Amino acid sequence: MNRTAMLLAAGLGTRLKEMTHDKPKALVKVAGKTLLQRNMEHLVSNGYDRIIVNIHHFGDQVIQFIDSHPCDAAIYISDERGCLMDTGGGIVQALPFFHDTPAVLVHNVDIISDVALMEIYDRFIASDDEAWLLTQDRDTSRKLLFDDDDLLVGWRNHNDGTFKWVRGEQSTYRELAFSGMHLFRPQLFDSFSYQRYSIIDLYLQQAAQHRIRSVEIQPGYWFDLGKAEDFHRIESQLQSEKPYAQ
């Protein structure tokens, strides 16, 4: 089976502070390898043979890195150097790359894990759902809300107490953290115009009439290299884990 993935690598990386002063977040090295290379290797090892990478901040450096680091997959660039499209708008802009694929795995470039992405992709293809949000039961200030059938019903911000609901306020729900990975069928977003969107807002909008399901993951390791203060702890843990790209 051919498998298609998109690596979201266009972010400004401001939370990494001086690490992204002269390079994009995707090219920050952790335990000797860039985030981009680690995730490309993980995807290829899981059978993904088409990878789309979106770019904005220092995008030319990302292109040069890809050109100088060939891998066993076809790599395509979705260019947002003219306008950063956010996590949802970037996917909408990249839809022309997905017209001949039944499903797409989207993966934030600052997430490092050992999740079995081949198995999850194949299970999603065999399902009747239109999107899977890979979730975890962990502490975070923002949570996705799901009903008893694991379908998306809302979102909650614990910092300010706000909610966003799919079909109005729910009295019972389960709160789970988003893992930075999700799968969707390309037709789910066909009706959206090219503009900035948050991917969570897109899913909340589409969940009113489409099956957007939580699939909880329990990986051996999962790291979010989003903040500079977490860098040394994560690097140390990666070196002790000796993961796939070490």
* pLDDT for 18: 87
pLDDT category of residue 241 using cuts at 50, 70 and 90? low
Please indicate whether residue 1 or residue 81 has the higher confidence score (pLDDT): 81
Q: What percent of the chain has pLDDT over 70?
A: 98
pLDDT in tens, 74-84: 999 999 999 99
Query: For residues 91 and 199, is the Cβ–Cβ distance under 8 A?
Result: yes
Mean pLDDT of 55-82: 97
Q: What superfamily would CATH give domain 4-237?
A: Spore Coat Polysaccharide Biosynthesis Protein SpsA; Chain A (3.90.550.10)
Q: What percent of the chain has pLDDT over 90?
A: 87
Tell me the pLDDT tens digit for each residue of 190-201: 999 999 999 999
**Dihedral sign, CA of 83, 86, 88, 91?**
positive
Residue 228 is predicted with a pLDDT of: 82
Q: Kindly tell me if the per-residue pLDDT of 240 is higher than 60.
A: yes
Q: How far apart are CA 173 and CA 220, in angstroms?
A: 27
| Domain map (residue ranges) of the chain | 4-237
Residue 102 has pLDDT above 80, yes or no: yes
pLDDT for 244 beyond 80: no
Region 156-169: what's the mean pLDDT? 97
Per-residue pLDDT reduced to its tens digit, 214-230: 999 999 999 999 778 88
What confidence tens digit (pLDDT) does each residue in 10-20 have? 999 888 888 99
What is the dihedral angle through the alpha carbons of 232, 238, 239, 241, rounded to the nearest 10 degrees? 150
